[in-house]
Every structure is written in structure tokens, then in C-alpha cells.
């Protein structure tokens, strides 16, 4: 099975990151502009956690505070499973199922490399499947 490092190489994680002190209103605006279901929480180039639409729905909606008073730090998810760029697509899929998450941070030697999400893995599997079937049909197998 394919490694996740080529997937990470195609992504630009810095576009959907936010600081922990930002407000929920700022985070929602950024998620909307980036058309993303998660934001990477970074302070001084240090990965702190993830803010996902699931966390917002589960925590912020129950809060009595307005969106301008709720911070990303109040909502972000911090205890996530971690992958390395040497892991395979299959390894990450198993991890997502085991821990019931849709995003996994990737580290190499304690250095943050990016986020692999379920959409990334699905796209990779579909692309690989198409390549296999395209090659097979050209060889006259079908």
C-alpha cells in the first residue's frame, strides 16, 4: 500500500491554520473561506491540536457564551492519534477507524508535517484504483 508522504507533499497546511487565542467567530470565518471542516491550531510553529466542525458542534453550541468570547483553545481537540510520514494509507485508515477520528496529525522526529484526513485517503484510494483498472483494461485483461 502507498505511503502517506506523497499525499502530504501535495497539501499546503499553512492555509488552514489558526492560533489558539483566536475566537470561534474568527475560526468559523476562516473555515468558511477555506471551505474546510478543520483548522490546525498552531502557536509559534508548534502544533497544539485541531479545531473541527465536530468539536464546534459538540462544545460551542452548548456554551452560553457568544462566539466572540469563545476561543479556539477552549474547543480544540488535543489528544489525537499520531502518524508518521512512513505510515501507509491503510495504516491511517485503520487508525481513523480505531480512534473514531477523521483527521490525524503527522510527525517525523517530533516535527509537525501536516494533517491527513479521511478525504485525502479516499481520494488516494480512488486514484490508485482507477490507475489499476486503467492499466488492466489497456492490457486486454477485461
| Cβ-contact 103, 31 below 8 angstroms | no
Question: In this predicted model, what pLDDT tens digit does every residue of 85-125 receive, in sequence order?
Answer: 899 999 999 999 999 999 999 999 889 999 999 999 998 88
Q: What total of structural domains would you count in the chain?
A: 1
Q: Check: pTM over 0.75? Answer yes or no.
A: yes
- The whole domain housing 85 covers 5-138
The CATH code of the domain that includes 120 is 3.10.580.10
- For residue 132, what pLDDT is reported? 54
Amino acid at each position: 500500500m502507498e505511503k502517506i508522504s506523497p499525499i502530504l507533499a501535495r497539501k499546503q497546511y499553512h492555509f488552514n491554520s489558526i492560533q489558539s487565542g483566536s475566537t470561534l467567530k474568527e475560526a468559523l470565518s476562516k473555515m468558511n473561506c477555506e471551505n474546510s471542516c478543520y483548522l490546525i491550531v498552531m502557536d509559534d510553529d508548534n502544533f497544539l491540536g485541531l479545531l473541527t466542525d465536530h468539536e464546534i458542534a459538540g462544545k460551542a453550541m452548548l456554551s452560553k457564551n457568544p462566539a466572540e468570547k469563545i476561543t479556539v483553545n477552549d474547543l480544540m481537540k488535543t489528544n489525537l492519534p499520531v502518524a508518521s510520514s512512513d505510515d501507509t494509507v491503510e495504516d491511517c485508515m485503520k487508525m481513523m477507524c480505531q480512534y473514531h477520528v477523521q483527521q490525524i496529525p503527522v510527525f517525523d522526529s517530533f516535527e509537525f508535517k501536516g494533517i491527513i484526513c479521511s478525504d485525502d485517503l479516499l481520494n488516494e484510494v480512488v486514484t490508485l484504483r482507477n490507475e489499476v483498472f486503467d492499466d488492466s483494461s489497456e492490457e486486454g485483461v477485461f
